């Protein structure tokens, strides 16, 4: 008992150290990917380690982890409580959409929820591997080295500062290595478990590690012997670029020179409290120069709005009955509005004028005055907070599918600036766009084909590896055919240019991605937006519908609400008939359709309502199932061996069935407290079992078992008599 307790304490200490090491894995991943709710990931790591520590059965452990993952996804990505009628439809919808994207090859279109599930599954497998290393091999050296290499690589090639993390990991790794070494040493020499003797070794080791770590931390450090290899590597590979060096990520008005690496910046820009996820729009650009984006200089006009007055843009909005609000809190006040799709009006605590540029649709905030306020005059006003009223548009897929290419010829001249292309654009860019959209009939299908092209090819997203185009090289052509590495500017600009080559009006949009999502409170979720969330995407014009946003950048998921309202084909004559003109036969034909509509109303919400009406019945059933489960667990020493006896009676008496039955017997012996000790031979263990159960059968079974393993001479074995001995022995464990 004492030895078992000491082993448990040793394992608990080892898992505690592993938790802190895995935390150092998690922190840079969260920072570099702008992922929130890191504490929930840490809880999952702790939960998995605790389940390993207490040696919970794999089935039960798996159910607990799956339950936590399900709760995690609902809590972070759904607006509704976990125990609600919307939970199952949400999960079914997530599984369906992501499976469709995976099987169709659109890996870049999988949702954030699915990526989170994959990341948690990866953590699950990693902890299982670590558990195997600790409990079986008593060695964590490879994991320790891999951790140091992982953090050092991120420290070298990214903006993450990994020096403190490396120090922590080295200290924890040395302690962990020492503890596991002592455990291996005790097992090898079969030393007695003496707590005082053990601490005589452990304490000097801990003190030595602590002293060496403190000395190393406080001693002065010399500079690096070698120069930073990253600029050299980028220079050799042609990724060093030209100009002023590496830029810092964030919103900027100057987009005339795109390309080159970006340096990350986690500076908080604003927070938004909203019921929905949004793309944060600022302005658009219309003229592509082969190196970047500028404005055409065409004067479109301006519009001035006040607080709580309708703001009109070129974008569709949803019905007013679906109006909702977003509370914006600006950590860095700006002289312009952060817009959202479906925006209806804006309200600030102080009187404010909102001046909209008709060309870029950028809305500047101005101080009211007695004179006429325009974009070029009047005092800019920096708002620290304001409220946006919006109603998200919902697009009909049926209507989008009716957008034929011939409709583009009827557009007026105001859309010409969204078809502009430089004369130097290589022909192969247009050829690629034509090839991608060759088999698509509607304008919307052509747009979606180009949007999805990037996730199907060899393109990769990387802020630090993007290249500048050379003097005679086109920015889009370089990305599409040469580098295929870049970030949002590369993907969005390429999509706009390809759409324009096939005659579809498109414009380049700048703003911020949705940001990091927090928890839900009263249906609202707080989104945190930093400089790292600065983003660009595409708006394309679909005749009959209007401007719609599209997201070509791999790793990002768009925010468009599509109503999949495609209907079956109905004969034209039947469509034209009025209800009073239909024959009796046609009216009978309509009845099954009405019945089907009624049946489709039988949703998960109605099921949940029915369940709530019988809550006491379900509660009683749950209590009954718990009682049954506890009873089965308590009585497992009795009913499990009986099941084994019945099962093996039906099997043929041979070595295969004997081997599996012997393994089942050893598990049953563990259940009744007869566990094989560390380093104990099978023969000694069999003698101890026979002494405890007052039999001689265990030695007989073990002798045959060892004979087969070591000599494989089993020609004269009577497996029928062995089965009888096994059955007698396992019945003794029950009694």
Residue ranges per structural domain of the chain: 2-218, 266-396, 403-517+533-563, 634-734
Residue 146's pLDDT band, with cuts at 50, 70 and 90, is confident
Q: What is the pLDDT of residue 720?
A: 80
Which pLDDT score, from 0 to 100, does residue 199 have? Answer: 60
What is the mean predicted confidence (pLDDT) over 706-735?
Answer: 76
Kindly report which listed range (353-362, 417-426, 588-597, 615-624) carries the lowest average pLDDT score: 588-597
Q: Where are the alpha helices (DSSP H) in 57-111?
A: 58-77, 87-103
pLDDT, residue 498, reads 97
Alpha-carbon gap, residue 504 to 499, rounded angstroms = 5
pLDDT at res. 546 = 93
pLDDT at 235: 43
Distances (CA, A) of 310 to 320, 344, 599: 11, 6, 41
Q: Minimal CA–CA distance to 251: which of 24, 9, 530? A: 530
Give pTM, 2 decimals. 0.51
CA 466, CA 486: separation in Å to the nearest integer?
Answer: 5
Contact criterion met (CB below 8 Å) for 265 and 530: yes
Burial class (CB in 10 A: 0-12, 13-18, 19+), 465: middle
Using a pLDDT cut of 70, give the percent of the chain over it.
81
Q: What is the mean pLDDT of residues 217-233?
A: 52
Other Cβ atoms within 10 Å of 214 Cβ, number = 11
Residue-level pLDDT at 501 = 96
Q: From the DSSP assignment, how many helices (H) and strands (E) are in the chain?
A: 23, 21
How far, in Å, are 309, 558, 656 from residue 708 at the CA level? 89, 63, 11
Task: Give the integer Cα–Cα distance in Å for 657 and 556.
Answer: 54
* Closest CA relative to residue 188, chosen from 139, 133, 129, 143: 139
Regarding predicted confidence, which is higher, 181 or 551?
551
Facing residues of 306 across strands?
Answer: 353
Q: Which CATH class is domain 403-517+533-563?
A: alpha beta
* Gap between the Cα atoms of 208 and 215, Å rounded: 11
CA distance 557 to 699: 65
């Amino acid at each position: 008992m004492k030895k078992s307790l000491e082993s448990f304490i040793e394992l608990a200490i080892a898992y505690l150290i592993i938790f802190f090491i895995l935390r150092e894995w998690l922190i840079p991943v969260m920072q570099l990917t702008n992922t929130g709710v890191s504490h929930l990931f840490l809880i999952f790591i702790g939960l998995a380690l605790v389940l390993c520590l207490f040696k919970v059965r794999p089935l039960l452990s798996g159910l607990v982890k799956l339950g936590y993952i399900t709760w995690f996804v609902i809590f972070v990505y759904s607006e509704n409580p976990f125990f609600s009628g919307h939970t199952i439809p949400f999960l079914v919808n997530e599984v369906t959409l992501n499976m469709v994207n995976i099987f169709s090859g659109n890996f870049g279109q999988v949702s954030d929820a699915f990526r989170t599930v994959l990341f948690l599954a990866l953590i699950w497998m990693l902890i299982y591997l670590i558990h195997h290393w600790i409990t079986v091999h008593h060695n964590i050296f490879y994991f320790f080295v891999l951790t140091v290499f992982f953090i050092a690589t991120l420290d070298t090639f990214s903006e993450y500062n990994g020096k403190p993390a490396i120090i922590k990991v080295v200290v924890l790794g040395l302690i962990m290595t020492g503890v596991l070494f002592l455990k291996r040493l005790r097992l090898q020499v079969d030393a007695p478990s003496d707590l005082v003797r053990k601490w005589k070794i452990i304490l000097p080791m801990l003190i030595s590690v602590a002293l060496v770590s403190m000395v190393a931390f406080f001693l002065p450090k010399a500079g690096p012997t070698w120069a930073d290899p990253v600029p050299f590597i980028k220079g050799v590979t042609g990724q060093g670029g030209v100009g002023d060096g590496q830029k810092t990520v964030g919103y900027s008005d100057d987009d005339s020179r795109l390309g080159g690496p970006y340096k990350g910046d986690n500076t908080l820009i604003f927070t938004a409290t909203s019921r929905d996820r949004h793309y944060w729009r600022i302005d658009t650009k219309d003229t592509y120069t082969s190196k970047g984006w500028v404005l055409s200089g065409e004067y479109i006009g301006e519009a001035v709005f006040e607080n709580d007055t309708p703001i009109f843009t070129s974008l569709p909005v949803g019905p007013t009955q679906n109006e909702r609000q977003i509370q914006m809190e600006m950590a860095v006040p700006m002289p312009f509005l952060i817009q959202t799709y479906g925006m209806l009006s804006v309200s600030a605590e102080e009187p404010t004028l909102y001046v909209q540029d008709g060309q870029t649709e950028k809305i500047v905030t101005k101080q009211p005055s007695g004179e006429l306020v325009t974009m070029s005059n009047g005092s800019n006003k920096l708002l620290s907070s304001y409220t946006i009223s919006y109603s998200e548009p919902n697009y009909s897929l049926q209507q989008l599918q009716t957008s034929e290419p011939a409709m583009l010829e009827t557009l007026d001249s105001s859309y010409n600036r969204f078809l502009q292309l430089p004369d130097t654009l290589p022909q192969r860019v247009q050829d690629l766009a034509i090839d991608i959209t060759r088999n698509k009939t509607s304008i919307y299908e052509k747009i979606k084909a180009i949007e999805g092209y990037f996730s199907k090819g060899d393109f990769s997203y990387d802020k630090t590896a993007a290249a500048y185009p050379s003097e005679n090289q086109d920015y889009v052509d370089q990305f599409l055919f040469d580098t295929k590495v870049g970030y949002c500017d590369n993907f969005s600009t390429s999509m706009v240019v390809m759409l324009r080559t096939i005659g579809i009006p498109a414009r380049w949009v700048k703003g911020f991605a949705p940001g990091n999502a927090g928890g839900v409170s009263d249906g609202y979720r707080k989104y945190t937006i930093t400089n790292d969330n600065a983003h660009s995407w595409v708006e394309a014009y679909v005749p009959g519908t209007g401007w719609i946003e599209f997201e070509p950048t791999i790793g990002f998921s768009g925010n468009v609400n599509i109503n999949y309202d495609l209907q079956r084909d109905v004969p034209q004559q039947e469509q034209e008939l009025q209800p009073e003109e239909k024959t009796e036969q046609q009216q009978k034909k309509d009845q099954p359709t009405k019945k089907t509509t009624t049946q489709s109303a039988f949703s998960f919400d109605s099921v949940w309502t029915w369940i709530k009406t019988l809550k006491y019945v379900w509660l009683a059933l749950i209590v009954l199932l718990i009682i049954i489960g506890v009873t089965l667990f308590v009585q497992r020493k009795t009913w499990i061996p009986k099941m084994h006896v019945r099962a093996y009676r039906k099997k043929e008496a041979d070595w295969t069935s004997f081997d599996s039955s012997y393994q089942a017997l050893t598990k049953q012996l563990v259940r009744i407290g007869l566990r094989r000790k560390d380093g104990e031979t099978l023969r000694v263990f069999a003698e101890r079992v026979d002494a405890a159960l007052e039999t001689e059968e265990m030695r007989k079974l073990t002798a045959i078992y060892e004979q087969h393993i070591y000599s494989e001479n089993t020609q004269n074995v009577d497996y029928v008599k062995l089965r009888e001995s096994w059955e007698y022995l396992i019945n003794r464990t029950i009694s």
